[in-house]
Structure 1
């Protein structure tokens, strides 16, 4: 192997017509060590996404505990151009996660195969059982109760009186001006309402807006900044503390999301005959109703839960989010759910509903553009923007999420009522010992065309 050329010569070559592409990996590493190439800038310097990942792995291997050079973390057969500048930085590979399906599942008279990405054995099998019971009973019905993403900046005023003046202006004559400033920043973002709160001299302004088929945080942040600039002209003694003052609230438990909603507010309902409860779910209607009250309602209240009046909504939300390219951290508020069960006609059937006030999803932007995640959105018929009805794809996805949560709730509650939970997990989670050393990774899920 030839020795690396001197740094000065490498720098001269890099600045020439060929750029860093004409250098060896060892020479590129030397330039990074010398501060001539930033580690995060390898893709741009080399013009080869996969090679940039390989060189970065060489750099990282020097400071990792394990032998990263021979790591089973895959590198090849992935289209990193979909990632660069959009989804991830300092990329050193990609992580394959198994994807299973729940279905056929009848939701609003349509039949779906719902993709879920998870490493928790039994989760998809259980959710599929719930979907089977619901479909045999006639299927799930869903409704959209609200649609509005939020951003809650915080500003400071020199006195309490001035803070109150800001609140009064925003809730009165100023609203139309703020709306005009906000709506002018996007084709899709439209201000729906403002909720203003004062804490001393601090003013918190919760913008609620439509965002088309995008989840919309970047879109709404841009509109919020424009609105704050206008507000500053009206109140020149105002100081903008932050475009997000945690009054949104994003990626944190918050009663305001549970009460006011955030993203898509959706609900799902199904009526399952007692005969199907017995044959498919192996339990009784009365036992399910009693368990739901004791566990999901009283138990959650005893724990002081906010939005956690359910058995395991977060399990299903996270798995669908991972499969469809959503922001998994927004599972925090998106999993807010209350599950209610009711015996109908003297126990002849069971009504189950799940109400979820803040499901935050999009079908354009972010991880939805990655090929594998886009393929999962295609399975549901909601990939990309809906041209005829902007926002309808994202709304449909939220309704599918809610219906799938309901299937998972029904099955888990049935397993608990019948005393089958531990046994089923032993079957699905203990199917065989994993090999001590993973086999060579197979071709990845994002294949270059």
Structure 2
């Protein structure tokens, strides 16, 4: 039966009605999609308030990374991810970093930028200077939109005006510089940009088009460094292997893409667990990786005088503790309490520490036994379950898969058949 994706009034239905409608449109029994409906009806109602056309929810495994000492304080770090070995690698490298004092971090003030695009200015350079002449008027109008933020010490702090040549068009672009305090800040800066648009159009004598935040949050960097003990890593050769892997990533964008994915494995897991915007953070990070004009490694690695590995990361980290899913999703709220951070800057610093730990763990695996040995060992359990193993069968299948060196579904199914064929009759 062909699918009919035309569903008039779909958005007006309840989640249960939408689910039934989808099943009918696909010619499926409703039981086929029943797994998407959470046992807690409250979670479904909450999801229906968060996004559109909700039919259910998707659970992501939530783990806790241990061993993290950051600026002298211990943290248990919630991580939401479906990928095996990520939490284990981060925890392992955090324990190695503890030998030399753990992670040391710093961060910028929580500054976000809103862009206001002016098109059709007859004198773009003159318009640029007129905007600067009215700077305070623009800032005052922006801050009228959010007196609560201003009362907390945040708000619009400055403007910058750029001339952007785009082929046949020349745009005047106003950057509104906003301190968003403990918010991620998208709603605050977008509201201010919308409010400024008529005044900007009046000053420039031209038309305003886009007015929206930029996810290139290069005024909001978080930084981390750590020393990883060479003996705990596996010796001088492993350290040299990590340095070779880093140099490869720094020089080659094909390697850098996967290298940075390893960093984001850790970062995205904490961002998601705390209800923050994973896409915004990822966009900012990858943009930063190409800031020089060539895509390269987000991390750096070198040796200290004793031959230990020194790792560092500096990247944009636009995360918050107020607003969005962080304040509406009960699991995100619980994870923030578990983590125990008190400001958006502290959260940003924890996140980059996890990114460095995860990156170091991945590079150590590459330099030592190879990435597949540890990763596939953990992946074997997922394969065993997917093949249909249950209870004690799971560990027996995992052992056989690891012994064979082939962690594949077809092998797991064959192993499971053999185990069941030789099992004593009940």
Query: In structure 2, do the counterparts of structure 1 residues 73 and 216 end up closer, same or farther at CA, with 3 Å as the change threshold?
Result: same
> What pairs with 1:7-22 in structure 2 (closer than 5 Å)?
none
> Matched residues in 2 for 1:284 and 1:158: separation?
58
> What pairs with 1:264-413 in structure 2 (closer than 5 Å)?
264-278=220-234, 284-293=238-247, 295-300=248-253, 303=254, 310=260, 312-336=262-286, 338-347=298-307, 349-356=308-315, 358-368=316-326, 369-382=328-341, 393-413=343-363
How far has the Cα of 1:68 moved from its partner? 4.2
Question: Which residue does 1:117 correspond to in 2?
Answer: 80
User: Secondary structure, in 3 states, of the residue corresponding to 1:169?
Assistant: helix
> Matched residues in 2 for 1:66 and 1:238: separation?
55
Q: Provide, for residues 276-319 of structure 1, a one-character-per-residue CA deviation record: whole Å limited to 9, x for no partner.
A: 2227xx963333223312x221123xx597x9974622211221
Number of residue-to-residue matches in the alignment: 362
How far has the Cα of 1:151 moved from its partner? 2.0
Aligned residues of 1:314 and 1:331 also touching (Cα < 8 A): no
Question: Which residue does 1:175 correspond to in 2?
Answer: 135
**TM-score under structure 2 length normalisation:** 0.77
**TM-score under structure 1 length normalisation:** 0.74
Q: Does 1:41 align with 2:12?
A: yes
Aligned residues of 1:150 and 1:249 also touching (Cα < 8 A): yes
Aligned residues of 2:18 and 2:55 also touching (Cα < 8 A): yes
Aligned residues of 2:110 and 2:344 also touching (Cα < 8 A): no
Query: In structure 2, do the counterparts of structure 1 residues 164 and 425 end up closer, same or farther at CA, with 3 Å as the change threshold?
Result: same
Aligned residues of 1:296 and 1:311 also touching (Cα < 8 A): no
Work out which of the residue numbers 241, 245, 248 in structure 1 matches 2:209: 241
Q: Does 1:229 align with 2:198?
A: yes
Aligned residues of 2:118 and 2:201 also touching (Cα < 8 A): no
Aligned residues of 1:313 and 1:335 also touching (Cα < 8 A): no
Aligned residues of 2:62 and 2:79 also touching (Cα < 8 A): yes
> What pairs with 1:61-100 in structure 2 (closer than 5 Å)?
61-64=23-26, 66-71=28-33, 72-79=35-42, 80-85=44-49, 87-100=50-63
Aligned residues of 2:108 and 2:222 also touching (Cα < 8 A): yes
How far has the Cα of 1:91 moved from its partner? 1.1
> Matched residues in 2 for 1:102 and 1:151: separation?
35
Q: Provide, for residues 229-255 of structure 1, a one-character-per-residue CA deviation record: whole Å limited to 9, x for no partner.
A: 2223334x32121223xxx533xxxxx
Query: In structure 2, do the counterparts of structure 1 residues 400 and 311 end up closer, same or farther at CA, with 3 Å as the change threshold?
Result: same
Question: Which residue does 1:155 correspond to in 2?
Answer: 118
> Matched residues in 2 for 1:406 and 1:133: separation?
12
> Matched residues in 2 for 1:278 and 1:309: separation?
20
Query: In structure 2, do the counterparts of structure 1 residues 334 and 128 end up closer, same or farther at CA, with 3 Å as the change threshold?
Result: farther
> Matched residues in 2 for 1:88 and 1:61: separation?
20
Q: Does 1:166 align with 2:127?
A: yes
Question: Which residue does 1:191 correspond to in 2?
Answer: 156
Aligned residues of 1:311 and 1:413 also touching (Cα < 8 A): no
Work out which of the residue numbers 121, 130, 141 in structure 1 matches 2:93: 130
User: Secondary structure, in 3 states, of the residue corresponding to 1:326?
Assistant: coil
User: Secondary structure, in 3 states, of the residue corresponding to 1:430?
Assistant: helix
Q: Provide, for residues 45-93 of structure 1, a one-character-per-residue CA deviation record: whole Å limited to 9, x for no partner.
A: xxxxxxx2212211221113654444221233042443444x2111111
Query: In structure 2, do the counterparts of structure 1 residues 158 and 105 end up closer, same or farther at CA, with 3 Å as the change threshold?
Result: closer
Query: In structure 2, do the counterparts of structure 1 residues 220 and 304 end up closer, same or farther at CA, with 3 Å as the change threshold?
Result: farther
> Matched residues in 2 for 1:402 and 1:65: separation?
46
> Matched residues in 1 for 2:125 and 2:372: separation?
56
Q: Comparing both structures, which one devotes a greater share of its residues to helix? A: 2
Query: In structure 2, do the counterparts of structure 1 residues 272 and 317 end up closer, same or farther at CA, with 3 Å as the change threshold?
Result: closer
Q: Provide, for residues 370-414 of structure 1, a one-character-per-residue CA deviation record: whole Å limited to 9, x for no partner.
A: 0111111111113xxxxxxxxx61111111100000101111111
Aligned residues of 1:342 and 1:352 also touching (Cα < 8 A): yes
How far has the Cα of 1:113 moved from its partner? 1.1
> Matched residues in 2 for 1:219 and 1:287: separation?
46
Question: Which residue does 1:420 correspond to in 2?
Answer: 370
User: Secondary structure, in 3 states, of the residue corresponding to 1:363?
Assistant: coil
Question: Which residue does 2:407 correspond to in 1?
Answer: none
Query: In structure 2, do the counterparts of structure 1 residues 314 and 270 end up closer, same or farther at CA, with 3 Å as the change threshold?
Result: same
> Matched residues in 1 for 2:107 and 2:225: separation?
12
Aligned residues of 1:311 and 1:412 also touching (Cα < 8 A): no
> Matched residues in 1 for 2:120 and 2:223: separation?
40
> Matched residues in 2 for 1:139 and 1:89: separation?
43
How far has the Cα of 1:320 moved from its partner? 1.3
